[in-house]
Chains A and B, each alone.
Chain A
């Protein structure tokens, strides 16, 4: 597993996901940012299962909470649940064709949205406008590209390190 997944790529994709949470985008795309952090976590849960996957997701989610200023623990919980589900259905998800995988990612993010909305309703925040509601669709559309990008980077690394 360690030969397949370079640590720097793992960390870099998560860091990009964190930064992308708060990068300012022009107004029409503002609410339509894909949750790259979630997508990265899904990718790594799919491609390199390991013992610490969920703990890592939780820790990164905690950082995401501080970065985007949400209730401390909210994103941590969401990311941990997300990675748990991926690990549970990993055998099926891995052998889906890409479009089917995207649909599954959309469903995972829909579950994530429901979790987020329920946490925030319990915490006393109101329902959001339509922007965040589209998150599963945005994630579904972004998944193939993010998947192919990470896959290409990973494969290139493996080829370079190959021969062993």
Chain B
């Protein structure tokens, strides 16, 4: 365990360590404050992220190998059964989709009759979740698409169930998305049944959202569905956020607080969809602020994109 031959400890060494320590503490404190306040240029973080990208790729390897082995070694019968189940499900979805398409076409026609310019088409981009465990104190996922593939900070992330979160940081070939359930995340929502507008905030646990500050008189009960309201323009309207699980008085007894089960599969699934920002429907939600200038006033559909950003449309 203990080896002779290494130099004997010098007394001055311990004393000399204090100055570098102070330097380290100061530097860290400055960095932390800057990062916490958001003063740090995203380019700095992006650059370091690109540098540590290999670490994430490497960390995701064992799980990927495990999945590959699981597929390669599982019995044929199991796979065949799974295929049959999936095929049935696909048929069912196809039927539903065909009906939905008819409804969408009808909707389009009616909108044209009414003279509205709203467009509910949705451009999405698929992204995979890199299988790494980020800091357990925060609810985040790492995605394998980055700025090179057109991902931007602020894009909404959804899955088949509903809202998942939003992109908070982008590097060249990867991005970090903050989940709905992170304690620092909140999303404007609306009750489907009554139209009541609320805010849903994360709790830090992956199966619960909180909706605080509901007036006592509000009509809300367990089982109600919440969807995004589109207010604020960051999230497109109409995506399922969750179902109310329980409603009760808050600590002050002046307001109600609701517990919500998220609609998206926050801790399952390996693929998500990124909503292209140009497709956010400006017809839904509050009026556009007066100082907002539409970059392309004649463009059909909602052009809520930042000026100069040209998104591909489907």
| A→B interface (CB under 8 Å) | 1, 4, 15, 18-25, 30-31, 47-49, 54-55, 58, 62-63, 66-74, 76-77, 80-81, 84, 87-88, 90-91, 94-95, 97-98, 119-120, 123-126, 128, 131-132, 151, 155
B interface list, Cβ under 8 A from A: 1-3, 5-7, 9, 13-14, 17-18, 20-21, 24-25, 27-32, 34-36, 40, 45, 48-49, 51-52, 55-56, 58-60, 62-63, 131-138, 140, 176, 183-184, 204
Q: Which residue of B lies closest to A95 (CB)?
A: B2
Identify which of A19, A22, A62, A81 gathers the most chain B CB atoms within 10 Å of its CB: A22
Given A1-B6, A68-B134, A88-B14: A58 and B52 within 8 A (CB)?
Answer: no
Report B-chain residues with C-beta under 8 Å of the C-beta of A80: 20-21, 24-25, 28
Interface contact A77-B138, CB-CB below 8 Å: no
Q: Which 4 A-B pairs have the closest CB atoms?
A: A73-B31, A77-B28, A80-B24, A72-B35
Nearest B-chain residue to A25, judged by Cβ: B133
**Known A4-B6, A23-B133, A68-B134; contact A126-B183, beta-carbon cutoff 8 A:** yes
- Residue pair B55, A18 in contact (C-beta under 8 Å): yes
Q: Which residues of A contact B49 (CB under 8 A)?
A: 66
B24 x A49 contact (CB < 8 A): no
The residue on A at minimum CB distance from B48 is A66
The answer to whether A67 and B6 touch (CB under 8 A), given A24-B60, A30-B133, A88-B14, is: no
- CB pair A24–B59 under 8 Å, yes or no, is yes
**B45, B62, B132, most chain A CB atoms within 10 A:** B132
